[in-house]
Structure 1
Amino acid sequence: MQSRLQSSPNPWLHVLVGAGALMLLLSAPSSLAQQSANDDAGKQAFNNSCRTCHSIREGDNRLGPNLNKIVGRKAGSLPDYNYSSSMKEAGFVWDQDRLTSFMVKPDEVVSGHKMQPYGGISADEAAKVVAYLQAAGSQ
């Protein structure tokens, strides 16, 4: 009889596991809601600042080149878009920081770009756009 009691799990273990599962269930909706809010904010920022000239669909170049998978792409490198010579010769790969900086103060990152009369957006809006572009490019 004693060995049977020792082999059965501690009743408190069930309580702790149940409480942990409940905590996960209760926190999941808020984290999902937060992620959804971040996605919505990024999409809105993109629509407000970029969509007039850019698309996130591969091959869908408009007045500006498509921004599909731009993070990690060499500046001025899409074969089917007519970039300015300064963008073609920029010699860097877009990363989060450079893309954010370009959206905030484009002339300081690539002088002679063709995005006129675009004057830039706030760093906060640019960060939202970059997060949106990264999420959209990874799908």
Structure 2
Amino acid sequence: MRQNLHLALFVIVAAGWAAPPARAGDADAGKDVFKSECAECHTVREGRNKKGPSLFGIVGRKAGSIADYDYSDALKQSAWTWTPEQLHTYLSQPAKKANPGTKMKYEGLDNAKDLDDLISYLDTQH
């Protein structure tokens, strides 16, 4: 029986059905990354937009869904949900490449630790 369970787990993992690995970041360090990388255009205050939309509650939110922010059509039509993995993909490259037609002007964060820390920090903002 135990051997069959191990075989079943192997098949699931080998087939790619397992959940992606969790990214372990330091939310405290991520607050500093937010300040240096994001705060010029974004805030984490609920209901307050700057040049970019508020990132309060971003993790788990549908992209382009804050009612009082004028998103690009490209982002509104993306059908994305801001999961940690989607944020990682989006923020690790230039925004114009990640979502052609976006209004966001960001060249991406290529330091994996800083990116994981930032996403961990954003995940605490709810």
Same fold? TM cut 0.5: yes
TM-score normalised by the chain length of structure 2: 0.73
TM-score by length of 1: 0.67
Question: How many Å apart are 1:113 and its aligned residue?
Answer: 1.1
- Kindly provide the amino acid, as one letter, of the partner of residue 62 in structure 1: K
- In structure 2, how many angstroms separate the alpha carbons of the residues matched to 1:61 and 1:103? 19
The alpha-carbon deviation at position 107 of structure 1 amounts to 3.2
Deviation at 1:112, TM superposition (A): 1.3
> Contact (CA 8 Å) 2:72, 2:101: kept in 1 or not?
yes
Larger gyration radius, structure 1 or structure 2: 1
3-state DSSP of counterpart to 1:46 = helix
**CA positional deviation for 1:70:** 0.6
Q: Distance in 2 between matches of 1:135 and 1:54?
A: 16
Which of 59, 74, 90 is the equivalent residue of 1:71?
A: 59
Give the structure with the larger helix fraction. 1
Which structure is richer in relative contact order (CA contacts within 8 A, separation 6 or more)?
2
In 2, the alpha carbon distance for the partners of 1:58 and 1:104 equals: 25
CA offsets, 1:22-62, max 9 Å, x none?
xxxxxxxxxxxxxxxx3331110110100000000111100
Aligned equivalent of 1:114, options 70, 80, 103: 103
Q: Percent identity at matched positions?
A: 38
Structure 1 segments, 4+ long, off by >6 Å, are: none
Within the alignment, does 1:90 sit opposite 2:83 as a pair?
no
RMSD: 1.2
2:125 to 114, 120, 136: 136
Q: Distance in 2 between matches of 1:103 and 1:51?
A: 14
Aligned: 1:62 with 2:50: yes
Q: Once the 2 structures are TM-superposed, how far is the Cα of residue 126 of structure 1 from its aligned partner? A: 1.6
Where structure 1 has 5 or more consecutive residues not aligned to the other structure, the ranges are 1-37
Residue 74 of structure 1 aligns to a residue in which SS?
Answer: coil
Structure 1, 98-107 or 53-62: larger mean CA deviation? 98-107
Of the three residues 91, 96, 100, the one matched with 1:103 is 91
Checking the alignment, whether the CA contact within 8 Å between 2:109 and 2:115 is kept in structure 1 is yes
**Contact 1:98/1:109 (CA < 8 Å) preserved in 2?**
no
